[in-house]
Amino acid sequence: MRAYQITSHETRPEVLDLPMPEPGPGEIRVKVGACGLNFADLLMQKGTYQETPALPFIGGMEVAGVVDALGPDTNGPAVGTRVAVFGGQGGLAEYGCFDASRAVPLPDDMPFEDAAAFLIAYGTSHVALDYRARLQPGETLLVLGAAGGVGLTAVEIGKLMGANVIACARGADKLEVAKKAGADHLIDATNEDIRSVVKSLGGADVVYDPVGGEQWKAAFRACNPEARLLPIGFASGEVPQVPTNHLLVKNLTVMGLYWGGYIAFKPQVVVDSLTTLFQWYGEGRIKPHVSNTLPLEQTNEAMDLLRKRKSTGKVVVTMGL
């Protein structure tokens, strides 16, 4: 089979011919239709992600496809079932073996490209805003990186939950994407002062931040008393430090969110969230925004779209299924 394998943290990965994998006990083999890319895939290539596998490994955290085979002592899902899987690795290949417990059956009318763009982005934003921050109707939600993979879903879900959504992104084109997702107010991070604009709009009650760096600092200073701040990631490359004396004075709460962690220690949170999200998808209330779809052989080009911030929403790699 063809697969995008990382053999070194210093060299550019390649698509190689590799042996067909065989599923072990409790695993399914999936004939992959599509794989969604995430910023974490870039960190894994550099060896800086918190769950980077040992070398060599196949990239790709989330996939959609058809169950092709079951390993020993595996009860299902049955061969032929259309599924999405958060595997953590192994998705950028024509076939992949994954823990059966991580497979989610797909609606018959959900394209693989949508399904591959769905789990991490929507799951992260829904668990963050609903389970962690307890976002309430009428509150003001500030979303940084609002045109990116997770940021755009935060705009969409925040609006569905009844929030007043302020979207911050770089450039008019990206802000237009956020506006179409439901943002009430727009901030261009290239030439506007985030703190002053947010304060002029009444301040932020919840901050959703996949960026970090200077944008986090500006958003932190624009918070209302009792605001909740959600560090989701650090696309800027800078992990900000939190001045705890300011937390005390304004009664602020900073709550981390790593969606994949809940699968390990509190999986029911993820199950309940995905149940809600698939229902919303079926009702037409949410729709993944995929800006770029490329074939497996062009995975490096797909990764570059993320690295150079040339995409909006999700980038998906397809296998021709």
**Residues 306/35/99/231 CA torsion (nearest 10 deg):** 30
pLDDT of residue 264: 85
Q: How confident is the model at residue 232 (pLDDT cuts 50, 70, 90)?
A: very high
Cβ distance 110 to 283 under 8 Å? no
298 and 250 in one domain? no
Using one digit for the tens of pLDDT, what is the confidence trace for 64-116? 999 999 999 999 899 999 999 999 999 999 999 999 999 999 988 999 999 99
* Cα Rg of the chain, angstroms: 20
SS3 content of the chain, % helix, strand, coil (to 5): 35, 25, 40
pLDDT of residue 238: 92
Domain boundary among the residues 241, 259, 277 is at: 259
Q: How confident is the model at residue 263 (pLDDT cuts 50, 70, 90)?
A: confident
Residue 50 has pLDDT above 90, yes or no: no
Q: What percent of the chain has pLDDT over 70?
A: 100
Q: How many CB atoms lie within 10 A of CB 242?
A: 14
Q: Which domain holds residue 151?
A: 120-259
Kindly state whether residue 248 falls inside one of the protein's structural domains.
Answer: yes
Cβ distance 83 to 104 under 8 Å? yes
Q: How far apart are CA 55 and CA 50, in angstroms?
A: 14
**β 62-70/82-86 pair status:** antiparallel
32 and 13 in one domain? yes
Three-state DSSP class for 148? coil
Q: How confident is the model at residue 164 (pLDDT cuts 50, 70, 90)?
A: very high
Kindly state whether residue 264 falls inside one of the protein's structural domains.
Answer: no
* pLDDT, averaged across the chain: 95
Q: What's the structural domain count of the chain?
A: 2
Q: What are phi and psi of 58, to 5 degrees?
A: -95, 130
Residue 222 has pLDDT above 90, yes or no: yes
Using one digit for the tens of pLDDT, what is the confidence trace for 273-321? 999 999 999 999 999 999 999 999 999 999 999 999 999 999 999 998 7
- The model carries a pTM of 0.90
98 and 14 in one domain? yes
Three-state DSSP class for 190? coil
CATH number, domain with residue 221: 3.90.180.10
138 and 102 in one domain? no
Kindly state whether residue 271 falls inside one of the protein's structural domains.
Answer: no
pLDDT of residue 51: 87
Residue 35 has pLDDT above 90, yes or no: yes
Question: For residue 114, which of 313, 287, 302 has the smallest C-alpha distance?
Answer: 287
Q: What are phi and psi of 96, to 5 degrees?
A: -150, 150
144 and 213 in one domain? yes
